[in-house]
């Protein structure tokens, strides 16, 4: 059987997150092909349901990349985003899924080096943990 490709989804805010990724690639960084970036206007828009649906649809790890908390384009958006992500993490640990599959990061649009770190961290998590195993005890 061929090795399964890991799947990582990244919700990036349009103002800083996606710009951080763009700067990284435009300065020559290569990252893992399994990473799928999805634009959201602000990380405050990301709801728990989006992260959970992504995991349900087959993502092995999900990260949310927002502005630095003191320099958020929408002032408090990335703080709200972090609250949402923390809530999802606590929910995941309750149902027996590793909470480190979901992570929130902050970067400004000029922190290209940080994007590579984030992506390598999340692809490592996805490769290490593999696909989400349904619990056998029928709960």
Partner 1 sequence: MKRSIQVVICRICSGAANVLDTDKLLRVASEAPYVGSAIAVDYACNTKTIAQIVEEAKDKEIDRLLVVPCSKNEVSPALFQSYKRKAKINEFLMEAVDLVSEVVLPHRDEPSKAQAKAEAKLLAAIARMAMLEPLQKGSEEMRTKNVVIIGAGVAGVEAAKRAAEAGLHTILIEKSDKEVKAPGVVMPRSRLISAKGHAGNYELTIEAGEKMEALECGAVIVASGGDWSEAKGPLVRACPEAKPLYKLAQELSSGNIPKGGVVIVDTPDPKADTTPAQDFAWEEALQCAIEIKKRESGTDVCLMFQEMRALGLAELSYKEAAELGVRFVRYDKKRPPKIDSKDKNRIVVIDSAQEQAIAIAFECLYYASIAPNPDNMAIAEALRIPMNDSGGVRRGSMQKGPIATPRPGIFVCGSAQFPRSEEMSRLEGRAAGALAAQFVSTGTVEFGGSVAEVTPEKCSACLTCVRTCPYEAPFIGVAGKAEIRLQLCQGCGMCVGICPSKAIELHNYTDDQLSAEVASYIGGDF
Q: What are the residues binding partner 1 (CB under 8 A)?
A: 5, 7, 9, 15-16, 21-22, 24-26, 29-31, 33-34, 36-38, 40-42, 44-47, 49-50, 53-54, 57-59, 67, 71-77, 80-81, 84, 108-109
Return the structure tokens found at 51. Answer: 């992260």
Q: How far is the CB of 139 from partner 1 (least distance, A)?
A: 25
Q: How far apart are alpha carbons 36 and 38 in whole angstroms?
A: 7
Asked if 93 and 99 count as a contact pair (C-beta separation under 8 A), the reply is yes
Q: How far is the CB of 130 from partner 1 (least distance, A)?
A: 15
Residue closer to partner 1 by CB (options 7, 89) is 7
Which H helix or E strand runs over 10? strand 8-13
Q: How far is the CB of 20 from partner 1 (least distance, A)?
A: 11
Q: How far apart are alpha carbons 116 and 122 in whole angstroms?
A: 10
């Amino acid at each position: 059987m061929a090795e399964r490709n890991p799947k990582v989804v990244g919700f990036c805010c349009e103002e800083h997150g996606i710009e951080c990724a763009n700067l990284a690639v435009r300065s020559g960084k290569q990252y893992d092909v399994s990473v799928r970036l999805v634009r959201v206007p602000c990380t405050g828009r990301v709801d728990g349901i989006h992260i959970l649906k992504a995991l349900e649809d087959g993502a092995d790890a999900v990260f949310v990349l927002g502005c630095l908390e003191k320099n958020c384009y929408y002032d408090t958006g990335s703080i709200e985003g972090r609250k949402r992500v923390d809530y999802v993490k606590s929910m995941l640990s309750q149902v027996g899924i590793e909470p480190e599959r979901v992570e929130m990061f902050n970067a400004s649009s000029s922190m290209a080096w940080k994007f590579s770190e984030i992506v390598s961290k999340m692809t490592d998590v996805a490769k290490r943990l593999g696909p989400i195993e349904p619990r056998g005890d029928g709960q």
